[in-house]
């Protein structure tokens, strides 16, 4: 602030010519655009981008698609832009078809079946809200009703505006751009809710809840558009890692020195839980739900280590190799897409700090390790590694542990165990039902006996009816006294 | 860095969130060190926690509330390349070596070089020479280690997780430095904001406005 006085004397001299666009098109330029006007700058950027991405066909398509956004935003429906938009639409259709085809291929490989359900429910996302969106919207509304009217209106207005805006443009822009917009929106929401005076009386829990529900609502509403964009971009990487994991199927826990005793039955069961959660991650729509799956599977991994070694708590030295082993065993579908989806659309705060952030980082590490794994990192010679990778040979101890060869045996044993369990439960059910049957017989017998006894003791005699009904009957001693009107003393 | 240490709550009381990574070779006692600090435990039998890879601690330092998130990293050589994924966006690093193991000290030097190259001076470094309870088998001299720490702008502590020596001090010192860093960063941000305010007061004089026939125009188009 002390330098304030210096400013009054300072004069900046700018010539008219320096303000003009550098290409000399006659419009004013802007220093932020490298001295060009908006139109020339856009053209320049497009040219350089085209040059950069000429080798990568998917990038090229993406650029074309994103260029169509600028065409639309210009709102100048000249003949040329009409042409290019038509072309873009064609390109987009091609991309979507490509997407569909690969999805079909992937769905053959996919282990979890739950994801396909989502596709069916979303025939017309723009016309009618999916069941999930409706549920989330309902949840949000219910929560907002507990807040003041003012907050209610502001929050829902902001979110609806954003979702509408995104629905219009998300298909035409790259994932990074969408991710940036979503993050910006989270930040503005967070700032608005925690800074502005209208929200002063909100508690921290309410603020957190608003942030959480914002993420939930936005990502659920935009899920289809966002995930298809993410999948399209990461398709090659997803396939690559899937193939990589398959060719690494021979890697045992000894290679990774992670100390997972997978011959032990208890450990195998925990490993199944880890694998289930890792695969389940793909079927969730909301980034925070995906992270929850990851956290719970990481906890299972830690459990796994405890069962295998017992004793001291697991450090990262043990955890990371074990997680790598589990990822190799699970081969989770669309791994890169999921990571990209979470990175782009989760609340940044949850990724930078907290348990979820830590485990997510570890997952990224595991994926990076799997991709770059060499003979050296497994303590093998290059020749051995090569032979194992190509499937020519198997590691010597592969048959001792017999983990992946005896998968069928293991499942059979598990099924036998389940059958045994069912058998014993069935037996218990049968004995219990027998007992119940007997009890019912007893009850029936007892009741009929008692009834017979009562009838014997008090034989039914029909007396002649008395003329006067109102007369007191001495036989009705057992009955409660007749109701008499209650007298209230109002005075 | 400022973004991670964001203000919490509208009431003006803010708490700082810091991320600390633990780096060092396997078996130097990273885990014992952090468990000693967070749980005040060393013996295996007494430990209730399932894991020691991610731990949090809440402390109060000179009237400021600080949440520490301590990230353990895998120390094996083959995971070295994954380092950048771990230490990204962290505010502090504890580099642990074993005083009985010369190699582990070399490893610390490698980490310091890498961290300074990747993150510059944004990250606060503390070097911990662990296992001073095994003084007899010392292979890394104290003078050498301290001289090195000074040279790279890091603090050096001698610790023993087993005997609970120097552990608390190490984390307190690290937190103090991270707080200083965060406060300076905030200050800089405020300064740049106010300076930004000044530029908005910059007077723009159109040269041609002096000519009678032309009306003054804004050039910010």
Distance CA(A151)–CA(A199), nearest Å, equals 7
Look at residue B171 in the predicted model and tell me its pLDDT. 92
Which pLDDT does position A99 carry in this prediction?
57
User: With an 8 Å Cβ cutoff, are B53 and A15 in contact?
Assistant: no
Select the more confidently predicted residue: B206 or B218.
Answer: B206
> CB distance A313–B35 less than 8 Å?
yes
Residue B126 lies in a domain: yes
pLDDT at A403 (0 to 100)? 53
Quick check: helix, strand or coil at residue B55?
A: strand
| pLDDT the model gives residue A100 | 55
Task: State the complex-level ipTM.
Answer: 0.79
**Pick among A206, A315, A343 to test the B interface (most B CBs inside 10 A):** A315
CATH architecture of A239-397: Up-down Bundle (1.20)
Q: A287-307 burial string, b = 16+ CB within 10 Å, else e?
A: bbbbbbbbbbbbbbbbbbbbb
* Separation between Cα atoms, residue B124 and residue B18, nearest integer Å: 11
Using one digit for the tens of pLDDT, what is the confidence trace for B113-128?
A: 999 888 888 889 999 9
Tell me, what DSSP letter sits at residue A55?
Answer: T
Task: Tell me the C-alpha to C-alpha distance, in Å, between residue A82 and each of A88, A259, A287.
Answer: 10, 63, 37
What's B172's domain CATH number? Answer: 3.40.50.300
Residue B67 lies in a domain: yes
Does residue B141 form part of some domain? yes
Q: Whole domain around residue B154: which residue ranges? A: 16-176
Domain A131-221 has CATH 1.10.246.120: yes
Q: What's the gap between Cα A268 and its chain centre?
A: 25
| CA nearest to A328, candidates A370, A389, A357 | A370
**Token digits for A349?**
């705060």
Contact A226, A341 (CB under 8 A): yes
DSSP assignment of A59-82: HHHHHHHHHHHHHHHHT---HHHH
pLDDT for position A115:
40
- Residue B204 counted as domain residue: no
Tell me, letter by letter, the H, E, C secondary structure of A308-368. HHCCCCECHHHHHHHHHHHHHHHCCCCHHHHHHHHHHHCCHHHHHCHHHHHHHHHHHHHHH
Let me know if residue B200 belongs to a domain.
no
A275, A355, B5, B94 from A359: Cα distances, Å: 15, 6, 21, 20
Q: Are B23 and B109 in contact (CB under 8 A)?
A: no
CA of B88, closest CA in chain A: separation in Å? 9
Q: Is the pLDDT of residue B146 over 60?
A: yes
Nearest residue in chain B measured CA to CA from A321: B74
Chain A residue with minimum CA distance to B3? A349
- Residue A433 Rama label (left phi>0; alpha psi -120 to 50; beta): alpha
Residue appearing with tokens 């300064």: B191
Q: Check B82 against A365: CB less than 8 A apart.
A: yes
Q: How many CB atoms lie within 10 A of CB A323?
A: 30
The count of structural domains within chain B is: 1
Residue B198 near chain A (CB below 8 Å): yes
Residue among B75, B194, B202 whose CB faces A7 most closely: B202
Residue B199 lies in a domain: no
- Res A466: pLDDT: 65
The dihedral of CA A278, A330, A234, A112: what is its sign?
A: negative
| Confidence at residue B2, expressed as pLDDT on a 0 to 100 scale | 41
Give the angle A378-A383-A388 at the CA atoms, nearest 5°.
65
Q: Does B205 touch chain A (CB under 8 A)?
A: yes
pTM of this prediction exceeds 0.90: no
The chain B residue lying nearest A300, using CA atoms, is B50
Whether residue A312 and residue B44 make contact (CB cut-off 8 A), yes or no, is yes
Residue B94 · residue B21 · CB < 8 Å: yes
Query: Can you give the residue ranges of every domain in chain A?
Result: 131-221, 239-397, 406-445
Determine the Cα–Cα distance for residues A364 and A340; give it in Å rounded to an integer.
10
**Could you give phi then psi for residue A413, rounded to 5 degrees?**
-60, -40
How would you write the pLDDT of chain A (491 residues) with one tens digit per residue? Answer: 444 444 444 455 666 667 777 777 877 777 777 778 888 888 888 877 766 554 544 555 555 545 544 444 444 444 444 555 555 555 565 566 555 555 555 554 444 444 443 444 444 445 567 788 888 888 888 888 888 788 888 888 888 888 888 888 887 888 888 888 888 998 888 888 877 777 777 777 888 888 888 888 888 888 888 888 888 889 999 999 999 998 888 888 778 887 777 777 788 888 889 999 999 999 988 999 999 999 999 999 888 888 887 766 778 888 898 999 999 988 899 999 999 999 889 888 778 778 889 999 999 999 999 998 888 888 788 888 888 888 777 777 655 555 555 667 778 888 999 999 999 999 999 999 999 999 999 999 999 999 999 988 887 778 777 666 665 556 556 777 778 888 777 66
Interface probe for B, chosen from A15, A196, A317 (most Cβ of B below 10 Å), is A317
> Does a structural domain hold residue B155?
yes
Distance from CA of A315 to the nearest CA of B (A): 5
With CB atoms and an 8 Å threshold, state whether A314 touches B207.
Answer: no
Q: What is the predicted pLDDT for the residue at A3?
A: 41
Nearest to A362 by CA among A318, A415, A427: A318
pLDDT tens string B56-82: 888 888 888 899 999 998 888 888 888
Q: CA distances (Å), A274 to each of A106, A147, A265, A331, A415, in order?
A: 22, 39, 14, 11, 19
Q: Which of residues 47-86 of B touch A (CB under 8 A)?
A: 47, 49-54, 67, 69, 71-76, 78-79, 81-82, 85-86
Pair B206, B216: CB distance under 8 Å? yes
Task: Kindly write down the DSSP assignment for every residue of A371-397, as one continuous string.
Answer: HH--TGGGT--HHHHHHHHHTS---TT
- Assess contact for B35 and B42: CB atoms under 8 A: yes
Tokens of A103: 């999805």
Query: What is the least distance, in Å, from the CA of A1 to any CA of chain B?
Result: 7
Q: What is the pLDDT of residue A81?
A: 47
CA distance B19 to chain A (A): 7
Give the pLDDT of residue A394: 75
User: In whole angstroms, what separates CA B83 from the centre of its chain?
Assistant: 15
Mean pLDDT estimate for chain B? 79
Give the closest of B8, B52, B82 to A314, CB-based: B52
pLDDT tens for B5-47 read 344 333 345 788 899 999 988 878 888 888 888 877 665 544 5
pLDDT of the residue at A13: 63
- B96 in a structural domain: yes
| The B124-130 sheet, strands edge to edge | B54-61, B64-72, B15-23, B92-98, B124-130, B155-158
């Amino acid at each position: 602030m002390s330098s304030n006085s210096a400013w009054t004397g300072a004069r900046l001299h700018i010539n008219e010519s320096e303000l003009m666009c550098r290409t000399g098109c006659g419009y004013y330029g802007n220093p932020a655009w490298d001295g060009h006007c908006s139109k020339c700058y856009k053209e320049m950027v497009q040219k350089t981008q085209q040059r950069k991405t000429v080798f990568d066909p998917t990038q090229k398509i993406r650029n074309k698609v994103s260029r169509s956004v600028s065409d639309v935003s210009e709102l100048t429906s000249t003949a040329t832009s009409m042409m290019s938009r038509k072309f873009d639409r064609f390109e987009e259709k091609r991309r979507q078809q490509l997407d569909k085809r690969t999805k079909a291929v992937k769905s053959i490989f996919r282990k979890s079946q739950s994801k396909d359900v989502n596709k069916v429910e979303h025939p017309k996302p723009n016309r009618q809200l999916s069941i999930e969106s409706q549920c989330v919207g309902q949840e949000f509304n219910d929560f907002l009703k507990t807040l003041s009217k003012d907050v209610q209106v502001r929050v829902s207005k902001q979110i609806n505006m954003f979702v509408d805006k995104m629905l219009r443009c998300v298909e035409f822009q790259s994932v990074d751009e969408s991710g940036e917009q979503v993050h910006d929106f989270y930040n503005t929401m967070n700032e608005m809710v925690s800074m502005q005076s209208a929200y002063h009386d909100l508690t921290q829990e309410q603020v957190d809840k608003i942030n959480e529900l914002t993420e939930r609502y936005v990502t659920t509403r935009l899920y289809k558009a966002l995930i298809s964009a993410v999948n399209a971009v990461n398709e090659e990487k997803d396939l690559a890692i899937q193939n990589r994991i398959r060719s690494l199927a021979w890697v045992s826990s000894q290679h990774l020195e992670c100390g997972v005793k997978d011959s032990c039955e208890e450990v195998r069961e925990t490993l199944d839980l880890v694998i289930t959660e890792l695969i389940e991650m793909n079927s969730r729509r909301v980034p925070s739900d995906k992270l929850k799956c990851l956290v719970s599977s990481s906890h299972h991994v830690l459990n796994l280590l405890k069962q295998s070694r017992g004793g001291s708590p697991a450090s990262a030295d043990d955890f990371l190799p074990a997680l790598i082993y589990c990822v190799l065993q699970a081969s989770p579908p669309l791994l890169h897409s999921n990571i990209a989806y979470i990175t782009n659309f989760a609340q940044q705060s949850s990724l930078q700090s907290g348990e979820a952030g830590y485990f997510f980082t570890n997952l990224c590490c595991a994926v990076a390790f799997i991709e770059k794994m060499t003979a050296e990192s497994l303590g093998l010679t290059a020749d051995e590694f090569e032979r194992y990778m190509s499937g020519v040979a198997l590691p010597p101890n592969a048959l001792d542990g017999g983990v992946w060869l005896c998968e069928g045996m293991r499942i059979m044993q598990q099924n036998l165990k389940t059958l045994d369990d069912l058998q014993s439960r069935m037996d218990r059910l049968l004995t219990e039902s027998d007992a119940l049957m007997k009890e019912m017989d007893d009850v029936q017998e007892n009741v009929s006996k008692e009834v017979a006894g009562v009838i014997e003791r008090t034989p039914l005699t029909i007396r002649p009816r008395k003329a006067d009904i109102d007369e007191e009957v001495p036989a009705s001693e057992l009955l409660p006294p007749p109701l008499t009107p209650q007298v209230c003393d109002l005075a | 860095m400022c973004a991670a240490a964001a203000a919490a709550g509208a009431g003006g009381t803010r708490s700082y969130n810091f991320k600390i990574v633990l780096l060092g070779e396997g078996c130097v006692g990273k885990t014992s060190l952090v468990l000693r600090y967070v749980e005040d435990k060393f013996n295996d039998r007494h430990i209730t926690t399932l894991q020691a890879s991610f731990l949090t601690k809440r402390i109060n330092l000179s009237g400021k509330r600080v949440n520490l998130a301590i990230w353990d990293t895998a120390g094996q050589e083959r995971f070295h390349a994954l380092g950048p994924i771990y230490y990204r966006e962290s505010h502090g690093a504890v580099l642990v070596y074993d005083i009985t193991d010369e190699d582990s000290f070399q490893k610390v030097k490698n980490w310091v070089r890498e961290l300074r190259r990747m993150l510059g001076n944004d990250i606060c470094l503390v070097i911990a020479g662990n296992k001073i309870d095994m003084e007899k088998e010392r292979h890394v001299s104290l003078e050498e280690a301290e001289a090195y720490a000074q040279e790279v702008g890091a603090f050096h502590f001698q610790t023993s997780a087993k005997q609970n020596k120097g552990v608390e001090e190490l984390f307190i010192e690290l937190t103090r430095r991270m707080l200083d860093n965060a406060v300076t960063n905030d200050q800089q941000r405020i300064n740049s904001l106010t300076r930004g305010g000044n530029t908005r007061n910059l007077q723009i004089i159109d040269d041609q406005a002096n000519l009678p026939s032309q009306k003054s125009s804004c050039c910010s188009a």
